[in-house]
Amino acid sequence: MDRMTATEAIITAKLAKGLTWPAIAQAVGASKEWVTAGCLGQMTFTAPQAKALGDLLGLTPEVVACLQIPPYRGSLPTAVPTDPLIYRFYELVSVYGTTFKALIHEEFGDGIMSAIDFKMDLTREPDPKGDRVKIVMSGKFLPYRTY
Which residues form the catalytic set? 88, 91, 114
CA distance readout (Å), 105 to 89, 97, 111, 112: 21, 12, 7, 8
CA distance readout (Å), 146 to 64, 113, 114, 122, 143: 42, 18, 18, 36, 10
- 3-class DSSP assignment, residue 82: coil
CA distance readout (Å), 112 to 4, 92, 103, 131, 140: 30, 18, 11, 32, 8
